[in-house]
């Protein structure tokens, strides 16, 4: 499990522990992993921690052996780690930020899949879960490259589903809507100011990480290809399919004040 130290990833760890799972927790931040282990009491013995930068292909390639040594086998991977971009338009986004987002969100996911898939194919049954985003199917101004990276994760995962249909591997792609996590801080991005006098911008309802994780786990149990967390993600998926231009203009209007 990548991104296990915080947000949806941490909530998934806690939820899966309740189901009796053993977890190899992967995160860039060792302190967050240690805090996670310290918070679960007797379940700590079910967790192994692995500090890794998933955008480092060589480092990711060494993870399967580390996990097998710690846990004995690998039955599933959940790629939950991700970062957002600064809230600016493409014209104002520098290539360093672009490459960082693509390296973590897309290449990090791809490296994990490539590293672990051979091991999963050896198991009686395996599972790959990749976390995309509502922004992976709906364009969000000010998060254009983030959305592009998550759209790449979406199509990669759906293609994996098709390629692996006749194997022992199940595949799911997750589309979280607005979720209460610390992804903005973890991404090193300043949150845009919301105008206090704009009633439409005062509140952006968000789903808790715990509720998002519960929906994801239920979707995995039902072997769903697509898992949508949050009413906004489900609604916008339907709206974008019915009328993509209207949906795009709606999101653009909501984001306008954040980009001025």
Catalytic residue annotation: 146
Which of helix, strand or coil describes residue 124? coil
Contact 85, 105 (CB under 8 A): no
107 forms beta bridges with none
CA distance 238 to 215: 18
Q: Report CA-CA distances (Å) from 16 to 86, 214, 216.
A: 32, 9, 10
In Å, how far are 8, 107, 219 from 214, measured between CA atoms? 10, 27, 9
- Give me 118's structure tokens: 């051979």
Tokens 């973890």 locate to: 186
Beta-ladder partners of 76? 127
Alpha helices in 41-133, H assignment, sequence order: 57-61, 63-71, 95-102, 108-120
Place of tokens 């609604």: 235
Give 222's DSSP letter.
T
């Amino acid at each position: 499990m990548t991104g296990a130290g915080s947000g949806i990833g941490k909530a998934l760890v806690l939820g899966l522990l309740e189901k009796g799972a053993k977890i190899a927790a992967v995160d860039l931040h060792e302190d967050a992993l240690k805090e996670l282990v310290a918070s679960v009491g007797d379940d700590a013995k079910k967790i192994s921690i692995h500090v890794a930068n998933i955008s480092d292909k060589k480092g990711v390639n060494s993870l399967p052996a580390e996990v097998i040594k710690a846990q004995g086998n690998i039955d599933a991977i959940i790629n939950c780690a991700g970062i957002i971009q600064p809230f600016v338009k493409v014209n104002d986004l520098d290539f360093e930020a672009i490459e960082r987002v693509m390296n973590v969100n897309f290449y990090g996911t791809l490296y994990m899949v490539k590293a672990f898939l051979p091991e999963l194919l050896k198991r009686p049954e395996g599972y790959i879960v990749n976390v995309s985003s509502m922004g992976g199917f709906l364009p969000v101004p000010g998060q254009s490259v983030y959305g592009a990276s998550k759209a790449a994760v979406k199509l990669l995962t759906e293609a994996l589903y098709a390629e692996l249909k006749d194997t022992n591997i199940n595949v799911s792609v997750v589309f979280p809507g607005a979720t209460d996590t610390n992804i903005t801080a973890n991404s090193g991005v300043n949150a845009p100011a919301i105008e206090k006098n704009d009633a439409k911008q005062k509140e952006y309802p968000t789903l808790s990480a715990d509720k998002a994780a519960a929906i994801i786990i239920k979707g995995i149990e039902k072997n769903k290809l697509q898992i949508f967390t949050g009413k906004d993600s489900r609604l916008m998926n339907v709206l974008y399919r019915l009328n993509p231009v209207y949906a795009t203009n709606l999101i653009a209007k909501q984001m306008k004040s954040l980009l001025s």
